[in-house]
Structure 1
C-alpha cells in the first residue's frame, strides 16, 4: 500500500516578528479525507501556523506544498485559488445581508447576457437557489435564503460560514475554534457539520482548545508547542491527559513514538 500524499503540507516554516519567533521550524501534514485537530497552549504559534497555511501570513523561511507541489501564497486569495478556505472566529459575515448574499460574499454571480456584462446586475435568484442547495446538502436547516444573518442563532451563523467554505474549498477547509462561543446543543450541530464535510471527501483542519470535541471527531491530533510541531497522535491510541502533557511539555514523544516523561 503506497503512502498517502498530504493534501496540505509544510516543512520548516519560520515566521519572526522582530525578536519574537512565532513559527520556529514548524512542520505540518494534512492527509486526504481526514479531520486533523491542531491543539496547543495560548502563544504556542497555532494561529501563526494556520495564517501561513491560509495565505494570511507570508513565512520568512520554509516550504508549503499542496498535493505535493510547492506553492507560495502572497495572500489569502492565492490560498483560495488552490482550494483552501478558512473560517475564522469572527466568521466574516455581513449581518444585515441575507443568507444567499453571505454564501456568495466576494464571489457574487452576475446575470447572463448584457444584464450581467453591461449593467452588472447580480443573479440573485440563481444565488438563492444555489445557496439553498449547498445548505441542503449539509443538512443546515434555514427557513429562507432571504433571511438576514443577524436574525440567526450563533450555531446557524457558524453553519453559514462553514457552508460557504465547503462550497468553494476544493481541497481543504480550515476552521478556527468553530464551537468557542456556542452552547452544548449548537456545538454538537457544528461538530456534526464538520464530520459531514469530511465524509464528502474534503479534509478539515480544526483548531480547538476543547479537548472533548477534539477527541470526539478528530482522526489525528497535531500538537503544537513553542512554535513547532511536537507530535501527531491518534485520539484512539492516546488519552486527553497524555495530549495535555504534550501541550504543556510534561511529556515528549520519542523517535519511536513512545511517550516519555520530562523531568524538570
Structure 2
C-alpha cells in the first residue's frame, strides 16, 4: 500500500473531524450560552442633530448603551480565555465590525491580537444573496490558536455559517463568535454565537460601523434608517 496515500487520507480525516468537533461545540454554545443578549425596549432615543439627522428615523441604541454593553461582553469573554496559553486572536469582519472590534479590543482585560477578513454575501444593498466570497483573507495561520470572530451584526446568519466552516478547516484550537447585534432570522437559524450584545428588530440599521451605500458608519449610535433613503 502506498504510504503517502495513507498519510494523506489520515490528514484529510483529521481535518474533517476537527471541523465537525468545532461545529458541534459551536451549536451547543449557540443553544445554551447566548441567552444573556440584551433585548431592546420599545422606546427609542431622540435623533441628535448632525449631518445625517434627516435620514435617521430613530436611535435604537445610544452611544452610552453600546459602550456599557461592550464592557460587559469584554468581561465575559476575558473570563472564558483567562487560562489561555497564547493571546486571543480577534478576527474582525470588515468593514462593519471595525468600530466594535476596536472598542472591544480596548475593553478586553486580557492580551489579544487583531486580524481582519472581508467577506461578502450581499446581492444588493438591502438583501442577502447567500453567495459568499472572500474579499480579504487573514494574514496569519490560526492553527492551534483560540479565535474569536467579532461581528457587527448577524442578519440571516448565512455569511457567519459559511465563515465558521471556512475557519474551522484551518484547525484553530477553539472558534467562537461575538456579535454586537443579532436579528430575529439569525435566532431562528442555529448559528454558533457565544456572545450577543443586543437582539434587535428586523429594521434596516446603520451607525457604529454599519452602513448604507458606505454612509453612516461614522455615527456613534445605532439608528433605524428611514425607508425613503433606501427606497429611492
TM-score scaled by length of structure 1: 0.27
TM-score scaled by length of structure 2: 0.30
